[in-house]
Structure 1
Amino acid sequence: MAMGSGRNGGNLKNAVVALLVPLPSILFYLCFLSNCGNGTCTGLWKWCYHHPLLLVNALFFLNVNFVFWLLSHVQSSHWMIDLYWTLIPVMLVHYFASHPLAHYNELRSWIAISLTWIWSIRLTHNYLRREGWQLGVREDWRFTDMRQQYGKNWWWVSFFAVYLSQQIFLIGVCLPLYVVHSVDEALNMWDLVAIFVCVSGIVIAYFADTQLHEFVTRNNELKMSGKSMVPNLEEGLWRYSRHPNYFGEQLWWWGLVIFAWGLGEEWSLVGSMVNSLCLAYVTKLVEERMVKQEYRAEAYRQYQKTTSVWIPWFNTSVKKDKNM
């Protein structure tokens, strides 16, 4: 009972912190809208009015990078940035839509906002399910590894490695949402393609993450009962791709790029391109971690030989079976 109440108390405390931490940016932006909603403003508000992208980057730097970084030292954990990765795109799309300089097609805006909410709910649900519905229990294993790697320098390296890098990625991948709310043109064929790609990405990522969660849960039960764990997940979508969840997530971001592409703003793909390159490196780290685990190393090396990395494709062993 005491341990349970302690966990619940910590969970409640972290939930309160997570709810309060974005308030400085939200309150500042509401003040800006009340003082400059009609475009007649002076001083700082005038700068905020004429520079929507610079403003959102300034708020991100001060409220996310700096404040989250300070809190990470108080809590000795960088857990909160993982949670907010699922929430910040929703905040950004509403910021882009509500800024006084925004002009856009209402239907396209409604579609983009709705899809972003669906993506966020899906990813937030997966994050909370993976963490056992607890907040702040652990940080991303990559941050833990870097903490050990950088040792006493981690206190300042973390500002750049964990937070400033997230600003580059999150603002970058959300640039198409800025474009959607900066160009007022009728819907076209590209919007239909974008909707299809975005929805496909969300659906694929949901089923891939659900299959992974069920696999991890079964293995934990086997471990608790003293039985041998299954070394590798090779069922469902994981039969055709070693990282179908990553593939689905990439489809989502590139689907947003198609919205911008159809509006003639191809430059906005830069964020998704950087994100894909980064995820390719993360994939390499994940697979190196897999083959270091003794009970699954051999099975995973065989899995690498027979199964596509990202894009789902027929398992090479299936092809051999068909030829037999």
Structure 2
Amino acid sequence: MAGGVKNMVIAFLVPLPSILFFFSFVRPTTTTSSSVSSWCAAHPLLVANLLFLFNVDLLFWLIGNLLSNHWLIDLYWTVIPVMLLHYYKAHPAAVADTARSAVAVALTWAWSARLTHNYLRREGWEWGKREDWRFAEMRGQYGKAWWWMSLFAVYLSQQVFLIGICLPMYAIHSSTQPWGIWDLAATMACIAGIVIAHFADTQLHSFVTRNEKLKKVGEPTVATLEDGLWRYSRHPNYFGEQLWWWGLYLFACNLGQPWMLVGPLVNSMCLGYVTVLVERRMVKQVHRAEAYKLYQKRTSVWIPWFRKAIPEPNHHKDT
């Protein structure tokens, strides 16, 4: 319990440097250098990257090494986009269509609330309970070199992804172009992505919880989740998450910023690689390997689709 409270306090304190610095140039005082404020006001994207570098990459990395647990970046994946959105919205150089900006704020908060809830629910509502299993595996692979390799593998790489996929938030607050039909399409895509991801993660959580209860009483557990959305996609939660980011990109494309495609594209490629890692991990588990291989053959990877007609196995459960 004490560790959870300590981690909660850390989580609330770590963004303060960025928040305080932002207010120092948005609302300059007599002690604030006017040249610094002017420079920050003229370079919103560069300042965002510098704040990320010092506050997230370096500070989170230092804390992660001190705690021997890089859990903070997982939690802040759900928070940083909200912070970036409000940074771009409140920046001195910001201009925006009121309706588009309001919709972007509402959608981003809804996305963040969903993902934060799922993260804390998955961790049993304990702050800093564990770090991402991929980081744990890399810790073992790199050994003594992990303390400095983690800066690149965990943090600098995350900066590329997060700043990249959040670029449409900057585009939204850099144009006064009136709301149009493509904005409506983008909104519908974002909402669909949030809803699909929510139901997929909820179904997965129920499946894992049910199996844990069965295991405790010595009953057979179900090898593979094949109900609900998981009947039509092996990773419907990933699909929903990608639909959200691509929907957000439509806002930028509509505003004449098609080059921002790089953000969701790189993120999708990264998630594709993660999908491969997850599935390799699943088939290495002896108790579910056979069932999961059949599941792979009959079920779409990401995009929900009708299942292939392959005979059911003779058994569905393991002990």
Show the counterpart of 2:171. 179
Matches within 5 A, 1:1-324: 8-35=1-28, 42-317=34-309
Post-superposition CA distance 1:153-206 (Å, at most 9, x none)? 111110000000110000000000100000111101100100100000000000
- Give the letter for the 1:32 counterpart: F
Cα distance in 2 between the residues matched to 1:297 and 1:127: 26
How much has 1:226 moved relative to structure 2? 1.2
- 1:286 is paired with a residue whose SS is helix
Cα distance in 1 between the residues matched to 2:301 and 2:250: 24
Aligned residue pairs, count = 310
Cα distance in 1 between the residues matched to 2:287 and 2:220: 9
Contact between 2:25 and 2:36, CA under 8 Å: does it hold in 1?
no
Any stretches of 5+ residues in structure 1 without a counterpart?
1-7
Which runs of at least 4 in structure 1 moved beyond 6 Å after TM superposition? none
- 1:135 is paired with a residue whose SS is coil
Q: Percent identity?
A: 62
How much has 1:9 moved relative to structure 2? 1.5
- 1:316 is paired with a residue whose SS is coil
Show the counterpart of 1:3. none
Post-superposition CA distance 1:243-295 (Å, at most 9, x none)? 00000000000000001111111111111000000000000000000001110
- Give the letter for the 1:222 counterpart: L
- 2:234 is paired with a residue whose SS is coil
Contact between 1:176 and 1:269, CA under 8 Å: does it hold in 2?
no
How much has 1:49 moved relative to structure 2? 1.1
- 1:300 is paired with a residue whose SS is helix
Contact between 1:180 and 1:259, CA under 8 Å: does it hold in 2?
yes
Any stretches of 5+ residues in structure 2 without a counterpart?
313-319
Show the counterpart of 1:4. none
Moved more, 93-102 or 220-229: 220-229
How much has 1:46 moved relative to structure 2? 1.8
Cα distance in 2 between the residues matched to 1:252 and 1:278: 16
The CA RMSD over aligned residues, in Å, is 1.5
Cα distance in 1 between the residues matched to 2:255 and 2:48: 22
User: CA, structure 1 residues 318+187, in 2 after alignment: closer, same or farther (shift >3 Å)?
Assistant: farther
Cα distance in 1 between the residues matched to 2:178 and 2:65: 48
- Give the TM-score, by structure 2 length: 0.95
